[in-house]
Amino acid sequence: MPILVSIVEDYAPVRQIMAERIGDAPGMKLGRTYPDAESALADLPQHPADVVLMDINLPGQCGIECVRKLKQLLPATQFVMVTVYMDADRIFKALAAGATGYLLKRASHTELLQAIREVAAGGSPMNRNIARLIVDTFHGVPPQSPDVERLSDREFDVLRLLAHGQAYKEIAADLNLGFNTVHTLVRRIYEKLHVHTRCGTEARFQQTG
């Protein structure tokens, strides 16, 4: 089955370019496209995609909040944040909201399709700045929910090496792991980040409500 990809992007020329690249790519099928978060929230739950390319800087409701809401309705959908700059703090917030990848708008045709295939196959790209933020998050105050699973020692090992700038292949060699195993561990880290930050927010809301 082809990978069904939808797009949420306010700038029409960029939306059109991404749509054309996806529509022409083997093994992919273009789903629906949206100019803003509001239209995506209204329509996408009835027409789910395998992967959604989500612009962070949307007019009205931002892409981060859109992902937070859509991920609750579409847990099987993978969201890739599309951004102009490598703003680690904003990308981290998007990942915490439920995204499993990020892509710069200046990415090439090949990089765009590769990112879609990687996320659809269970991969989750992460760079050193994002890894450092996640390490700090899990080293902070423990969440108040007993349902939150902490990172394993092996997952922290992977994060530590990512934070030092090592590539996945180097991490696999250093930890005597398979390359695919490193990808799986990073995806698990993202999944735990989603739960950790969500429960932490709920706990703070309950304390102040």
The mean pLDDT of 68-84, rounded to a whole number, is 93
pLDDT band at 207 (very low <50, low <70, confident <90, very high): very low
Highest average pLDDT, of 60-74, 85-99, 158-172, comes from: 60-74
Tell me yes or no: is domain 128-208 CATH 1.10.10.10: yes
pLDDT of 203 reads 36
Paired residues of 4 in beta bridges: 29
Pick 3-120's CATH classification: 3.40.50.2300, 3.50.50.60, 3.60.130.10, 3.40.50.620. 3.40.50.2300
Contact 109, 21 (CB under 8 A): yes
For residue 16, pLDDT over 90 is answered with yes
pLDDT of 32 reads 98
Q: What is the DSSP letter of 141?
A: S
Instruction: Report the run of H or E that residue 18 belongs to, with start and end.
Output: helix 12-24
- Write the pLDDT tens digit of every residue in 133-181: 888 777 654 544 444 467 888 998 998 899 888 988 999 999 999 988 9
Average pLDDT for the chain: 85
For residue 39, pLDDT over 60 is answered with yes
Residues ≥6 apart with Cβ < 8 Å to 202: 145
**Higher pLDDT residue, 167 or 52?**
52
pLDDT of 200 reads 46
List the chain domain ranges: 3-120, 128-208
Percentages of the chain per state (helix, strand, coil), in multiples of 5 = 55, 15, 30
**Higher pLDDT residue, 47 or 189?**
47
Structure token digits, residue 198: 């969500």
For residue 66, pLDDT over 60 is answered with yes
The mean pLDDT of 63-85, rounded to a whole number, is 93
Contact 21, 113 (CB under 8 A): yes
pLDDT band at 201 (very low <50, low <70, confident <90, very high): very low
For residue 33, pLDDT over 50 is answered with yes
